[in-house]
Amino acid sequence: MADSIEGRVRNGVDAFLRWLPRWEIGTSRARTKVCRLCLGSPVATAAGFDHEVPHTVQHALLSRMRVIIDEAVEEYTARNLPLVSRELSRAAEPEPAGYKPDEGLALEFQGLEIDPEPEPGQPYLFTLAELAEADRVVPPARAEPSDPAPSSLDDAPASYSEEAKAALRTELELADDHARQVGTAVCLALVEHRTRISDAIDRLVEPQIDELLAELSRALENPRSR
């Protein structure tokens, strides 16, 4: 697993470094909600990010690392955990058709707010979230399956014996353990790329931050007359 993860991390970092020159600080927006992917992430620590690195820059790399972990766990589950694979297939529901502005985005934009924060006195006709909600298509009613997938082990139908529930619990624990192992492997592999990441941040991000701070300082020193 280690060799495969190292290669995937290297490719993910390469893709991040190709994207970074296109990032502009003027296109970043402050978040009003906590980003669960980035806040306190050990992956961010492994990459060498600190609080001064803009969130959108961190998010672009961490999104790529998350995909590596998710794909590795999915592969492991499909190959080694038949009960979990079966339950995931049974629990999968087709999503309603319609406009989905948060789907199909590049990895660096997945999980970010799709609409800007409203500005007082500057109304707009609609938001992308409102448009998606208005375009949502409710699927036709369908017959309930005779043996639906359980939402939890305690809700499993009577056809699940205690032995089957115990086996499923064991597989879930194995999936969680594998996810932790992959996460650790990703962090260890990412540490090897800290210098590349840091050099790119210093060259492409820090000058934009410095310029923004300089402009703010000039504006404070020479406020416009009213």
Q: What pLDDT score was predicted for residue 91? A: 74
How do residues 85-139 score in pLDDT, each as one tens digit? Answer: 988 887 766 666 665 666 666 676 666 666 666 666 666 655 666 666 665 554 4
Q: What pLDDT score was predicted for residue 128? A: 60
Q: What pLDDT score was predicted for residue 141? A: 46
Q: What pLDDT score was predicted for residue 142? A: 44
Q: What pLDDT score was predicted for residue 151? A: 45
All residue ranges of the chain with pLDDT < 70 are 1-3, 27-32, 92-106, 108-159, 223-226
Q: What pLDDT score was predicted for residue 165? A: 87
Q: What pLDDT score was predicted for residue 145? A: 43
Do the Cβ atoms of 55 and 31 come closer than 8 Å? yes
Q: What pLDDT score was predicted for residue 36? A: 86
Q: What pLDDT score was predicted for residue 171? A: 93
Q: What pLDDT score was predicted for residue 5? A: 94
